[in-house]
Amino acid sequence: MKRTHNPNKCKIHRSYTVEEVALLLEVHKRTVRNWIIKGLTVCDDKRPLLILGTDLRLFLQQQRQENKRKCKPSELYCLKCREPRLPDQNTLEFIEETNTKGRVIAACSVCNSRMNKYFKLENITSIQSDIAVILPLQQKHIG
């Protein structure tokens, strides 16, 4: 399971050992060593390996940026594929959460798993040209 780690926990004017980074970010020491293999820079090749706080913070911020997936207005994020995908048009359903926002639920066109995305109601009309979202009818109040 991938986790995002808070880069703000790292003090930039401090140097850390592998064990200290593991305790700080609540990960295993092997995870930190894998990060070093992936490109986290260390001060020198001597033991104990020292990692500068600025390098650690920069590495974690870059990892966060690489993991982000931006969806186009016509796409929904599929949790199973871990990619923005076009939804299956036959399974689209709009659920109004509040007076100003709602959520579109659909099935992924590739893996058929459930997808969803939150929208502001004012933006639904611009999205309806790409996705066939059907708004629910207003229910009449008993008077």
Total count of domains within the chain:
2
**Distance set, CA 4 to CA 10, 108, 115, 130 (Å):** 14, 25, 21, 32
The length of the chain, given as a count of residues: 143
Task: Quickly state the pLDDT bin for 25 (edges 50, 70, 90).
Answer: very high
pTM: 0.59
Rounded CA separation 118/101 (Å): 7
Identify whether residues 58 and 88 lie together within a single domain: no
Instruction: Give the domain extent around 104.
Output: 76-127
Task: Quickly state the pLDDT bin for 140 (edges 50, 70, 90).
Answer: very low
HSE-up of residue 123 (Cα within 13 Å, Cβ side):
11
Identify whether residues 92 and 41 lie together within a single domain: no
